[in-house]
Copies of this chain bind each other. A is one copy, B any other.
Amino acid sequence: MSFLIELCRFLLVDWIKMRIGGIQMATNKTIAVVVTNDVEDVELTSPREALVKAGYQVCLIGMRAGEIIQGKKGTAFLIDKGIDDVKPEDFRALLIPGGFSPDQLRGDQRFVDFVKAFLENHRPTFAICHGPQLFIQTGLADQLELTAYKTVQPDLAYAGAKVSDQAVVNHNNLITSRNPDDLPQFNQAIVAALAD
């Protein structure tokens, strides 16, 4: 009987540790990535590698959990969570890779709201290439200093953002870059920001 009570106590304590500890770890260590088909493959694979190497988990958020999406260059990606299954506060930071994925996501208000929650609370947000297109739909572009892919720089400037044509812009917890050539500096900046 005392063995059973002891076992039960042990299991209960460990269960609480795992539950609470697990959730805390996930929130502190998990980076949300919003993504769909025709993402610029390397703008997802390269930052993901840098983040995982630095000890973070990366959660791909798309339309539906379990969906397989395909990058512009053909890479297959498994979507970990559907946008309806997640809350911004479950994540340490947000990453938006480029390609033709962001323009599709900004047509879906759920993704716009998710991104907006990070921007309006000045939580760590990382976007590269066409990623910043999503900021236009949040209505907060006029509060941002950033860079982006060259074709969308004018869109963001007209929307009121302060746009600079440089490899990395780091302002108010928002880190942005222009294209795959900027990835080394982008990856370094996002990992450093998380370590602060």
Binding site for B on A (CB under 8 A): 38, 100, 103-104, 106-107, 130, 133, 136-137, 141, 150-152, 154-155, 158-160
- Inter-chain CA distance A160–B160, complex, in Å, is 12
* Chain B residue with the shortest CB-CB distance to A104: B151
Chain B nearest Cβ from A181, distance in angstroms? 14
Q: Which of A152, A158, A159 has the most CB of B within 10 A?
A: A158
Cα A160 to Cα B159 in complex, Å, equals 10
Chain B residues with CB under 8 Å of A137's CB are 151, 154
* CB contact under 8 A between A107 and B151, given known A38-B100, A100-B38: yes
Cβ contacts A to B, 5 pairs, < 8 Å: A100-B100, A133-B151, A136-B154, A136-B158, A155-B159
- Give the complex CA separation of A141 and B104 in angstroms: 23
Greatest chain B CB density within 10 A among A106, A107, A155, A159 is at A155
Option from B104, B150, B155 in Cβ contact (under 8 Å) with A155: B155
Determine which of B100, B104, B155 lies in contact with A136 in the assembled complex, contact meaning CB atoms within 8 Å. Answer: B155
Least distance between A5 CB and chain B CB atoms (Å): 61
Q: Report whether A107 and B38 are in contact in the complex, using a CB–CB cutoff of 8 Å.
A: no
